[in-house]
Amino acid sequence: MSIDLSNLFSKDETVYFFDGEIVGSDVNLNLKEFEVLDPIKYKGEICKVNREYIINISTYYTFKTNCDRCLNSTIKNVKSSLSAKLEDYKKMQEEDEEEEDIIYYKNDVLDIEKYVLMEVLSSLPMKTLCKEDCKGLCPLCGTDFNKKSCDCIVENIDPRFEKLKNFFDKN
């Protein structure tokens, strides 16, 4: 979806509201671990503050992935938001991008889906758990500790000291 900003810039309106969704066929995040299940929904507003325009976007989506501890399939709902300054693409080379969050438009048209997908990518969790207290898998036999326990004896040796383990053995 593209937003035509020419009406906003030419009138004295101070707020412009928008919303939409990106359906699965348009979502191409190239991520093997994450599958977006429902359309990505977004809504937002563009506000005129003094002589600047500020854009606020809220995104909502559901994804499917495997738990990082027990490897069971899990589904998570995510809500994230983005707030940034709206600038003309021509100013991109003039300003330092590190200063603040900036969203660029070109020829008074804003490609909102591009920035929504960037927000989705940046809001994906680094570690996903099926539940907060997931116990994971046994490193020896692979038993799912959430379902049952096993009789394996796991020695937790600091890898920095593992070579010293047999230091005093006289074989």
pLDDT at 32: 74
For the chain, give every domain's residue range.
2-131
Is pLDDT of 161 > 90?
Answer: no
Distance of CA 85 to the CA centre of its chain: 20
Assign 155 a pLDDT band (cuts: 50, 70, 90).
confident
In DSSP notation, 36-70 reads E-SPEEEEEEEEEETTEEEEEEEEEEEEEEE-TTT
Is pLDDT of 93 > 70?
Answer: no
Is pLDDT of 146 > 80?
Answer: yes
Tokens for 82, please give them: 């983005």
Lowest-pLDDT choice from 59-63, 80-84, 165-169:
165-169
Most confident of 32-36, 41-45, 85-89: 41-45
Give the pLDDT confidence of 63-83 residue by residue, as tens digits. 999 999 999 999 999 999 999
pLDDT at 14: 78
Q: Is 31 exposed, middle or buried (0-12, 13-18, 19+ CB in 10 A)?
A: middle
pLDDT at 88: 82
pTM score: 0.73
pLDDT at 100: 67
